[in-house]
Amino acid sequence: MPQMPYTPGLEGAGAVVQVGSAAPASLLGQRVSYHGDSSGSYASFTIVAQDSLSRVPEGVSDADAAAVPCQAFTAHYLTHDSYVCGPGSVVVVQAAAGGTGLLICQMAKLRGATVIALCGGEAKAALAASVGRADHVIDYKAVHDWPAAVRQIAPEGVHAVYDGVGRDTFEGDLRVLRRRGTLVSFGNASGAVPPVAPLLLAGSIYLQRPKLNDYMVTAEEREKRAADVYGWIQKKQLQLTIGKIFPLSEAAQAHAYIEGRQSTGKLLLNCKE
């Protein structure tokens, strides 16, 4: 638990209203988004390091700008670095109707991969197909054995699994990977993955536990990811899904909404109160 008082939130978007002595005055008034190591975005005003900023171009709404930093940049490094998608790749995306999942699906498709999306419920399955543009969608709730359903689509197994769910899907992920496949475990929505026995990785499986900040080390990395993502948004090649916007005063309700697994896409807090 963090020491109280504490202001949560690691990402956001808005306009620069003041700059420090080491920052250029040209930043004043600029629309920016940010993702950083220090918390504080659940507020009307916050202090952000200059090297955490990405400029928001014309044609990108404030809501879309706020939805980009964590989820879209995560989807970018996952599909461009952790496992490099391309023509001929077959990948599984867990929780494909969530904010990050939908973006992984779209970016994998932009790179030419075949996408198998997994999600729970008819509404989420429809979202993964329409917005995520997945080639195949499997509804956890409609099948008894989802790894077997994946194997029916890809008998030799898939090249990679992108999994932000964690404990509940980990063993199934291993069952669907082909020899020398890659399991990219980037989240713990269902709980932490238990210690992994080496024999579970039979088949020369690659297991990754990546973190966004490790893929945003330099200004060049941040600028490249921002240029790609915002460029796709401007060209209508990437669709951000804003599931719901809560006022800042209802932040607790927003968290309950997520914990109740009611959310699809990205939830935002409107801090202009």
- pLDDT tens digits along 221-260: 999 999 999 999 999 999 999 989 999 999 999 999 888 8
Residue-wise pLDDT tens digits, 74-131 = 999 999 999 999 999 999 999 999 999 999 999 999 999 999 999 999 999 999 999 9
Residue 166 has pLDDT above 90, yes or no: no
For the 86-209 domain, the top CATH level (class) is alpha beta
The mean per-residue pLDDT over the stretch 34-53 comes to 90
Cβ burial of 77 (10 Å; 0-12, 13-18, 19+) is buried
pLDDT band at 39 (very low <50, low <70, confident <90, very high): confident
Q: What is the DSSP letter of 56?
A: P
pLDDT band at 196 (very low <50, low <70, confident <90, very high): confident
Domain definitions of the chain by residue range? 11-69+217-270, 86-209
In the CATH scheme, what is the homologous superfamily, with its name and number, of domain 11-69+217-270? Medium-chain alcohol dehydrogenases, catalytic domain (3.90.180.10)
Alpha carbon distance 184, 237 (integer Å): 24
Q: CB under 8 Å, gap of 24 or more: what pairs does 225-233 form?
A: 225/73, 225/76, 225/77, 226/33, 226/54, 226/55, 226/68, 226/73, 228/76, 229/68, 229/72, 229/73, 229/76, 230/54, 230/56, 230/57, 230/60, 230/68, 232/110, 233/59, 233/60, 233/64, 233/68
